[in-house]
Amino acid sequence: MGISNETRIFSSKIKKVKKETFSNIRHSSFSFLYLNFIFHRKNTVDDQAYPIERSSLIQKLSLQWDLRTGPYRAFFPQEEAERKFCQDILDKAPDDTILFAACQDTRTGEIVASLYLEDAFEMVDNSEKATAFNLQKLGEERLSKMVILSQISFVKGEEKTMISQVLMSHCFIEVLKIGGQGVLLDSDVGHFSIYKRLGMRPIGALYKSSENGHSIPMVFLPDEDYLALINSPVLNLLRGITFSHYKSICQWYYQLVRKNTELQVGSAYYPETTEEYEGHYTITEGLTDKGRASFLKNAMVVKCRQGEVLITENDRGKAFGFIQRGIVKVVIANKTVVLLSEGDIFGEIAFILNSKRSAEVIAISPRTEVVLFSADAINQLENEADKAVIWRNLSRVLAQRVVLTNKMLG
């Protein structure tokens, strides 16, 4: 792990992109696929015009490895029929150079989801993407060590979280094994909470994409502390990774967030297995069955549209809640300070202190649902141990935020 990817800088200015095409390559169980794409283009990332020879990460991936977790298997399809199926569900035109990743249900043998991979520096010439992903701040060297993933296309609607976990983990691990430092993805609002649960975080602010409507650029980094903090299901799959090799890129990310507070996200705590997870897990984890039923019975579900204000600054903190669906932003003095999504708690500080709200909470997704609790929801719990669990869980949320704040402060 941690092998550096060479990037050479030449003095002559060349803009033309050269691609070497290879055919009739035989694969065996021991073979690796070596293809090199040579790129020469204007470096818009640093606003300097100089040609660069980049070594493609994509073409260094070993296509022979797969990842099996539970009933699912993630792999890089090589058979013509499998590639054709991926092209169809992703609505991609036939192209032999595209590298697909697929997830297969081992119980049926059917492909249930797919995505495709590209070298991240392919975005350099796309001004919309370059701005959205903060490529100028990311820099040429870091960009050359990243891969961008397309949105995942699902064949079925069940078990999306589990399927995403296997497929994204496979791509992430394979990129790290060849010397990469992370993966990028342009997430639509609907899938944001799934990717966030795995450990991906915003690298750019919410924007309106010409392709996918409202999108949030995200990055997946091998940040051991953060993955452990949210109990990411990917962390256990990264055994053998030398996390210290990625300290620099992780520190860069925290510096980016410190200067761009709109990139901060909530830190919901997730269970060991996806089957146990529901949006209220962060606040109800540890309650007895009777206590959980009583607590949720006294909740109020609020449905709102994009742009609606859920909490107003200076209101009394008589309730707190969690996001059940969608995304909200927390705004202080007209500045977004954090994005919250499924499972994240909000309003707990004013509730605990019985003080006025210091921020506004505004829905930014088309269909947002939040669940609110008043003090009565806690007081009506019969079991004193259940009451203590609620306060413990609220304390854990605050502690997580302290940890993340300390990270950003260096």
| Per-residue pLDDT at 34 exceeds 60 | no
Q: What pLDDT does residue 237 have?
A: 87
The CA–CA distances, whole Å, from 199 to 37, 203, 209, 212, 228 equal 30, 13, 23, 22, 9
Higher pLDDT, residue 277 or 286: 286
Residues 318-339: what's their mean pLDDT? 89
% of the chain surpassing 90 pLDDT: 38
Higher pLDDT, residue 173 or 43: 173
| Per-residue pLDDT at 184 exceeds 80 | yes
68: left (phi over 0), alpha (psi -120 to 50) or beta: beta
| Per-residue pLDDT at 344 exceeds 60 | yes
| Per-residue pLDDT at 6 exceeds 50 | no
- The H-or-E segment that residue 19 falls in is strand 18-19
Check the CA dihedral 276-281-285-290 and report its sign: negative
Contact assessment for residue 177 and residue 1, using Cβ atoms and an 8 Å cutoff? yes
Model confidence over 142-180: pLDDT tens digits?
999 999 998 899 998 788 888 998 999 999 999 999 999
- The H-or-E segment that residue 90 falls in is helix 80-90
Buried b (16+ CB within 10 A) or exposed e, 184-208: bbbbbbbbbbbbbbbbbbbbbebbe
The residues that bridge with 104 in the sheet, in sequence order, are 73, 111
* Confidence grade of residue 63 (pLDDT, cut at 50, 70, 90): confident
Residues 129-140: what's their mean pLDDT? 89
Tokens of 125: 């010439």
Mean pLDDT of the chain: 81
| Per-residue pLDDT at 200 exceeds 90 | yes
Q: What pLDDT does residue 177 have?
A: 92
What fold characterizes domain 7-258? Aminopeptidase (3.40.630)
* Confidence grade of residue 402 (pLDDT, cut at 50, 70, 90): confident
| Per-residue pLDDT at 359 exceeds 70 | yes
Domain limits, the chain: 7-258, 275-408
Q: What pLDDT does residue 72 have?
A: 95
| Per-residue pLDDT at 315 exceeds 90 | no
Residues 341-352: what's their mean pLDDT? 87
> Averaging pLDDT over each range in 54-68, 89-103, 269-283, which range is the top one?
89-103
- Asked if the domains at 7-258 and 275-408 fall in one CATH topology, the answer is no
Higher pLDDT, residue 212 or 162: 162
Give the whole-angstrom CA distance, residue 184 versus residue 94: 24
CATH of 275-408 given 3.30.360.10, 1.10.645.10, 2.60.120.10, 3.30.70.260: 2.60.120.10
